[in-house]
Structure 1
Amino acid sequence: MAGNGDIQWCFSQVKGTLEDDVTEADIISCVEFNHDGDLLATGDKGGRVVIFQRDPISKNSIPRRGEYNVYSTFQSHEPEFDYLKSLEIEEKINKIRWLKRKNPSHFLLSTNDKTIKLWKVSERDKRVEGYNTKEENGAIRDPACVTALRVPTIKPMELMVEASPRRIFANAHTYHINSISVNSDQETYLSADDLRINLWHLEITDQSFNIVDIKPTNMEELTEVITAAEFHPAECNVLVYSSSKGTIRLCDMRSAALCDQHSKLFEEPEDPTNRSFFSEIISSISDVKLSNSGRYMISRDYLSVKVWDLQMETKPIECYPVHEYLRSKLCSLYENDCIFDKFECCWSGNDSAIMTGSYNNFFRVFDRTTKRDLTLEAARDIAKPKTLLKPRKVCTGGKRKKDEISVDCLDFNKKILHTAWHPSENVVAVAATNNLFLFQDKL
């Protein structure tokens, strides 16, 4: 993977209909590559999971192409009703996390606000014929009528991909689940809501351990909530979680069963010159991701992405403004609720670049080596294979250059909240409302 600032990105594919009227259920709510990048899963607000598989020809062609085909679609969650609290529980998929592959089947965790499910996705391309005790249509035969024994034969059949729920982890969260993260031991995982983080064993559905609890005795004293949580990629005892106050805490599960005392606290002192009515809202961290090497982490707040070194708590080592031009627009963003949008961020496979989303279907790529950054757009008019993406520029002042867009013309209904980067190639997936765009480097 080259230094990413010099990459020219080109369009590869778009999935989903390009109509203007989008139903709420079709809006993509999470995107996740599996560990080798051959599968890509999306979840949507209608509770569906769609898995795409890398096209084998595109993977081995020269130059290679990042093309994916639909592999499996299944309904993961249904809408529910909590009668005790008179609350509707949405079917929307909040997060998907893949487990590392151990056998021919694939396993993934998906969660809505309350219930986590472990799904097994497996292929069937053979069927058994010639049963002794049942007919070909499946009807059970009377054993008394079986006069001769025959050996069943295995015949090839058309490939079927089956998704079956293997475990359902429920009833452990009072508040909405915002994160799930599989531990590096591949045996346990965490789930986090606004005030608590629970630790689960993948084999045990009826009990979980509460490892972080920030709920005050008196709820009126509540000053912050948990916004995201993740396990360290290599050290199975370490996890981090971010808060709405702009802090990230690192916990070591070896020190105590309840990690209410963090080992490290990452926080940037506030710049008094930028202090405003909106300071607290925009400093809330919407996503935190540890780097693949485990040495760094990135945090996304409303206006920027910060890179932290796990060895240095006092301040981030890099800070990248995502859409600084919105600072003057915070008032109207507060009025239309956009200021509460939760943007995610992700690392490139070799940790040399970062990607995150913005408005107007813009997404940003920051190269950590060259310090260059790109603003790109996931737009329909580029939907032709190999079309080069032109970097976009937003102007704030009076005179607008030919290829710039004025900050007043940005569409705040079009937002890129969810992005994913292939673990070993420069192929990225970007969710724009109900469409999944795939882009790759132009080799």
Structure 2
Amino acid sequence: MAEEHKWKFAQCFGDKGDSDDITDADIISAVEFDHTGDYLATGDKGGRVVLFERNGSKKNCEYQFYTEFQSHEAEFDYLKSLEIEEKINKIKWCKRQNSAHFLLSTNDKTIKLWKVFDKSLRLVSENNMIPPNSQTTYNTLQLPKLIHHDTMVAAVPRKVYPNAHTYHINSISTNSDGETYLSADDLRINLWNLDISNQSFNIVDIKPANMEELTEVITAAAFHPQHCNLFMYSSSKGTIKLSDMRESALCDQYSKVFEETEDPAHRTFFSEIISSVSDISFSHDGRYILSRDYLTLKIWDVNMDTEPVQTINIHDQLRARLCDLYENDCIFDKFECTFSGDDSHVMTGSYSNNFHIYDREGKTDITLQADKSAFRSKRLGSAKNKMTMTKNSNNTSAYSSTTGPESNNMDFSKKILHSSWHPKENTIAIAATNNLFIFRYD
């Protein structure tokens, strides 16, 4: 990734016009590649899941629409007088065992396991009916024949995992054993068997006896990619805790705590808010942990919990504007982060529909913009989405978008919160409001 012209806008799905009448239900709230990278799933605030598949016959193996289904509906909890939104919080693919696809989707309260498969549509053939002038005797038994008419993509809920979370579910993560997964809400983490929907095991519970003593909440959780007994979870206090399920049934006594000590002299009213970890991710080899808080990305070595091996400033220019960001609630935005397929780069989102790609040492910063202008620039053959070379503070080269705004020109209504990186190649999927953008490194 040493040359600026290599990252290119490839595709855009969604409303590519200039209409601003976007409904809240159309906003994409989850993006996830499957383990092969041949399929891509998105979920939106309207409870829909849309799947895309790789079309190998087309140039550059572009993605095309595969199927769409309604995963969740809006509900009302009459006991708590609480409305439960249909918004899809997370989607996780299960490893493929046969020709069918299985994926987990969740809203605030209910997790569902979906089976997506090609279903053959058969019709009764009329060619085997007895013609009027036939010499065949009427004693001959004629059976109707079914012939293949068409193939349709069907999506059916195989399992529904309800009533296990009192608080809003923020994470689901499939285990490397292929049999279990975890789900996390603000105060608890549950372990599930994919085949058992009416029972789960509580493996983390940080709820205090007196809720007035509550000082932190769980913000994200994930299984280790290789060791089925290890998982981690992050908190609003900026800590990441690595736990081993072999040690005890309740994993409140974690194995390691990854936490960066704060200088008390620099502590402000906003310190705890901006240190809250919004997302965590293991590298594919399980050696590193990537975490995102409001202003920075941190890369941790699993074997060293005293400090991160790399801290990358994403929004350092916003430190002077934290009061304004607090008043407009942007300071609570939860940006996701992810490793590249080969773990050499990391990616996270920003404002004005910008997103950043860094090498693991944080020396290069490639800033791209996922905007409708990128689609128009490809269609019109312009160069609006080209990048220019800039220098970091440490005098190392970095790439930034020519359209990238300064901090005082940031559009805080346009934000890249959700993204996913292809597991085997440098292709990335970016959710920008109701649009799905595909960028490719050619």
Map 1:311-330 onto structure 2 (within 5 A). 311-330=303-322
Rounded Cα–Cα distance in structure 1 between residues aligned with 2:382 and 2:428: 15
User: Where does residue 38 of structure 2 map in the other structure?
Assistant: 38
User: Where does residue 53 of structure 2 map in the other structure?
Assistant: 53
User: Where does residue 395 of structure 2 map in the other structure?
Assistant: none
Contact 1:392-1:404 within 8 A present in 2 as well: no
Match of 2:284 among 268, 292, 295: 292
User: Where does residue 100 of structure 2 map in the other structure?
Assistant: 105
Amino acid at match of 2:14: G
Residues 1:116 and 2:111 aligned together: yes
Contact 2:4-2:388 within 8 A present in 1 as well: no
User: Where does residue 399 of structure 2 map in the other structure?
Assistant: none
Rounded Cα–Cα distance in structure 1 between residues aligned with 2:403 and 2:63: 32
Structure of greater relative contact order (alpha carbons < 8 Å, 6+ residues apart):
1
User: Where does residue 208 of structure 1 map in the other structure?
Assistant: 200
Rounded Cα–Cα distance in structure 2 between residues aligned with 1:435 and 1:259: 40
Rounded Cα–Cα distance in structure 1 between residues aligned with 2:306 and 2:276: 17
User: Where does residue 15 of structure 1 map in the other structure?
Assistant: 13
When residues 4 and 433 of structure 1 are mapped into structure 2, their CA distance, relative to the original with a 3 A threshold, is: farther
Amino acid at match of 1:391: M
Contact 1:250-1:264 within 8 A present in 2 as well: yes
Match of 2:166 among 164, 169, 174: 174
* SS of equivalent residue, structure 2 residue 436: strand
Instruction: Report how far residue 409 of structure 1 moved.
Output: 1.6
When residues 387 and 262 of structure 1 are mapped into structure 2, their CA distance, relative to the original with a 3 A threshold, is: farther
Map 1:102-251 onto structure 2 (within 5 A). 102-125=97-120, 127=122, 129=124, 148=141, 150=143, 152-153=145-146, 155-251=147-243
Consecutive unaligned residues in structure 2, runs of 5 or more:
130-138, 391-401
Amino acid at match of 2:156: S
Q: TM-score, normalised by structure 2?
A: 0.89
* SS of equivalent residue, structure 1 residue 330: helix
User: Where does residue 136 of structure 2 map in the other structure?
Assistant: none
When residues 9 and 210 of structure 1 are mapped into structure 2, their CA distance, relative to the original with a 3 A threshold, is: same
Instruction: Report how far residue 317 of structure 1 moved.
Output: 0.5
Contact 2:121-2:152 within 8 A present in 1 as well: no
Instruction: Report how far residue 127 of structure 1 moved.
Output: 2.2
Match of 1:346 among 329, 338, 341: 338
Contact 1:306-1:320 within 8 A present in 2 as well: yes
Amino acid at match of 2:343: D
When residues 16 and 256 of structure 1 are mapped into structure 2, their CA distance, relative to the original with a 3 A threshold, is: same
Map 1:263-412 onto structure 2 (within 5 A). 263-272=255-264, 274-368=266-360, 371-383=363-375, 384=378, 389-391=385-387, 405-412=405-412
Contact 2:171-2:220 within 8 A present in 1 as well: yes
Amino acid at match of 1:182: T
* SS of equivalent residue, structure 1 residue 198: strand
Rounded Cα–Cα distance in structure 1 between residues aligned with 2:193 and 2:169: 17
Amino acid at match of 1:335: E
Aligned identity (percent) is: 60
User: Where does residue 423 of structure 1 map in the other structure?
Assistant: 423
* SS of equivalent residue, structure 1 residue 339: helix
Instruction: Report how far residue 404 of structure 1 moved.
Output: 6.0
Match of 2:77 among 72, 78, 82: 82
Contact 2:312-2:362 within 8 A present in 1 as well: no
* SS of equivalent residue, structure 2 residue 387: coil
Contact 1:364-1:374 within 8 A present in 2 as well: yes
Rounded Cα–Cα distance in structure 1 between residues aligned with 2:140 and 2:321: 83
Higher mean Cα deviation, 383-392 or 364-373?
Answer: 383-392
Higher mean Cα deviation, 3-12 or 257-266?
Answer: 3-12
User: Size of the alignment, in residue pairs?
Assistant: 416
* SS of equivalent residue, structure 1 residue 109: strand
Instruction: Report how far residue 125 of structure 1 moved.
Output: 3.7
What is the Cα-based RMSD across aligned positions, in Å? 2.4
Contact 1:266-1:315 within 8 A present in 2 as well: yes
Contact 1:229-1:240 within 8 A present in 2 as well: yes
1:227-258: per-residue Cα shift (whole Å, max 9, x none)?
Answer: 00000001000000000000000010000001
When residues 387 and 106 of structure 1 are mapped into structure 2, their CA distance, relative to the original with a 3 A threshold, is: farther
* SS of equivalent residue, structure 2 residue 57: helix
Instruction: Report how far residue 390 of structure 1 moved.
Output: 2.5
1:392-439: per-residue Cα shift (whole Å, max 9, x none)?
Answer: 799xxxxxxx96633222110000000100011111000001111111
Amino acid at match of 1:302: Y
Rounded Cα–Cα distance in structure 1 between residues aligned with 2:256 and 2:310: 19
Rounded Cα–Cα distance in structure 1 between residues aligned with 2:202 and 2:141: 59
